[in-house]
A and B are shown apart, each in its own frame.
Chain A
Amino acid sequence: MAELSYREAVARGIAQEMRRDPMLVMLGEDIAGAGGVFKTTVGLLDEFGPSRIRDTPISEQAILGAAMGAAMTGVPVIAEIMFSDFIAVCFDILANEMAKSRYMTGGQMTVPVVVRTHNGGGSRFGAQHSQSVENWCMMIPGLKVVAPSNPADVVGLMAAAIRDPDPVVFFEHKSLLATKGEVPEGELFQALGEAKVVREGSDCTIVALALMVPRAIEAAERLADDGVSAEVIDLRSLVPLDTKTIMSSVEKTGRLYTVEENPRLCGWGAEIASLVGEEAFWNLDGPVIRISTPHIPLPSAENLEDLTIPSVDRIYETIKRSMD
């Protein structure tokens, strides 16, 4: 067991799979010579060489297009989109092309691409470099969506995403990159679609993703001091969605909170609230409550950004108030 940072875990996960599959290649802006602007690909060029780790121009459509084309012909590809906001620039390739090609060709086409991207706020970068856009991808049939919250999951889920025969969008959270955690030795693999109960509790369920997971855990610890026993679920992937873990937790606790970094409207918590409303309504002892970023572009000033993204305080206070 070694302690790794989240950003080191990204490189370790990629390296694990590149050793395992000699055909696997990666491309993106500044990923090779510079080791990534977030240093998530440090060391990969040295180990795997410039024909497997390739720098590209600032051409996001060309990056995802090349990834898709190579993948269609049996070469699995990891493509990095530097900031998840830039997915908007190449959303056509993601949403109209790679997501649909198996379905609309009657199953002829297979596109094993992982689109890695740096997601989320907390860096004071302003509205075009800070968004949480996991819900943009969740709504597209044909895309799998993964967002790990800790280094061990980064490695295991990276392996599963890369080995998946379908396109996967892999969100690495910018504000988690420097965080550390224990990562077991050896080859790791964590199947997609398995949420994890990261803290057991009996009074309410908090469903969270990525950066919101450690915040939900901290809020749950404070709630415990007030006598509220909160269960925290780390979703880990939005598609596939582990509804069983959510439903069985709600059956036990009777209360559900979602903690989302994406803006409110059509955020992933809405889908979970709707599912629980439809299928577990009689298990609920109160309304499902969504704690999310408001429906605004993210402001850049420190105090404003902290005000808008769900904080430990806001999670704690919202739950405390509504559980009383």
Chain B
Amino acid sequence: MSTKPFNDSAADDPTLLDYATRPVRPPVALDPAMDEADIPSDVRMELYERQQVLRQFEKRAYDLFMQNLVKGTSHLSLGMEAVSAGFGQAMQPDDYVFATYRGHAHTLSKGAPLGPVMAELLGRENGILQGKGGSMHLTSVEHNMMGSYAIIGAHLCIANGTAWSAQIRGTDQVTVAFFGDGATNIGAFHEALNFAVIWNLPIVFVCENNLYMEYTPSDLITAVEHPAADRASAYGLERIIVDGNDADAVYLSAQTALTKARRGAGPSLIEAVTYRHGGHSRADPGKYRPADEVEAWLDHDPIPIYHQRLLRLGVPEGDLATIQQSVAGRIDEATEFAKAGLPPDPALAMTDLWADGGSAWRN
């Protein structure tokens, strides 16, 4: 009989996570057929510009952390821009969007203005939430961007509600709910999917599978290889996996799912496989990822992928450079707008708990 109660050998017990050997999880090869995809050239130029906006915004957000102008935490979408760009492009203005705490890109891609979003990261009164929500809760009701949610999975249940509301009001609005691979192991994900299917709701669930649940490789702690797609059959849904770093692939997949929902044919679940260039949050340098894995994914960066495709399709390099420069100017303006904002008026701490604008709980 062993004198040691625990056997820590991963070789003997496959349920123990093996931290010593970290297999590389490379991207899929780029689909060459996407060059020929039936996407109008003006749409492609907009997809390029959207990705430029998201990339340059997130880079600037990172620089502003480094200058200690962004407090608290922040979760960047660097490397994951094609997902929000593709869906943002495919959605109608009155469609609803729900995002996670990693929601800068989704908020911007739904049309929220750059300056007030940047100002919110800096905690200023001219922020889109008056400095009361911060990076993890970006919302723009005016653009039907119905919030960024920092409790994993909860928003999938809430997103069903806006889809239900569209059904009740008889509109053709579709709700798109983004979430990470980590959310697929929480109960709310499964409650939300079952509920959406039984009520045939006009909703698209989009898993941004960036392979890591915070710091832990998702496949080590998930019963199936594809955390979202491999669960689809449990809810009678199609298994859909898309290259999340190819904006055209995402756009086409989004169009199909949005059209299906809009014609009353119910929900879809899409798994977009992607990768974050940085760590989970501001606090995380992401050192747990094998160097050759990071390198492989940096070679599968959505921005150069799209840039090269447009060049192959005959778009002049100069046109793309013009877009990059124009976006850079907008990011600079947004930064100036944010920096010019004041810290929120102290009186704002006690406003907007209730509909009357105040926070009184007694007479």
Measured CB to CB, the residues of A under 8 A from B are 23, 25, 51, 56-57, 59, 61-62, 64-75, 77, 92-93, 96-97, 101-110, 141-142, 164-166, 193, 239-244, 275
Contact = CB atoms under 8 A, between A and B. Distances in A.
Contacts of B187: 61
Contact of A61 (B139, B154, B162): B154
B361 A239 contact: yes
B164 A66 contact: yes
A73 B352 contact: no
Interface string B333-363: 0000000000000000001111101011111
B151 A107 contact: no
B128 interface: yes
B162 A244 contact: no
25 contacts: A25-B168, A57-B195, A61-B187, A62-B188, A65-B160, A66-B157, A66-B158, A69-B163, A69-B164, A69-B175, A71-B161, A73-B96, A73-B161, A73-B166, A92-B188, A93-B158, A96-B151, A102-B352, A103-B353, A106-B128, A141-B359, A165-B355, A239-B361, A240-B361, A243-B363
B97 to A, nearest CB: 12
Contacts of B161: 65-73, 77
Task: Kindly name the residue among A61, A62, A166 whose own CB sees the greatest number of chain B CB atoms within 10 A.
Answer: A62
B191 interface: yes
B141 A109 contact: yes
A97 B141 contact: no
Contacts of A102: 352-355
Contacts of B204: none
Contacts of B326: none
Contact of B168 (A23, A62, A105): A23
A109 B162 CA distance: 13
Interface residues of B, number: 51
A51 to B, nearest CB: 7
A110 B165 CA distance: 14
B192 interface: yes
B361 A93 contact: no
B132 A59 contact: no
Given A103-B353, A109-B147, A244-B363, A62 B160 contact: yes
B158 A68 contact: yes
Contacts of A109: 139, 141, 146-147
A103 B352 contact: yes
A31 B133 CA distance: 36
Given A66-B164, A141-B359, 16 more contacts: A56-B195, A57-B194, A57-B195, A62-B195, A65-B161, A69-B175, A72-B146, A74-B165, A97-B149, A97-B158, A101-B147, A106-B130, A106-B132, A141-B361, A142-B353, A275-B362
A73 B165 contact: yes
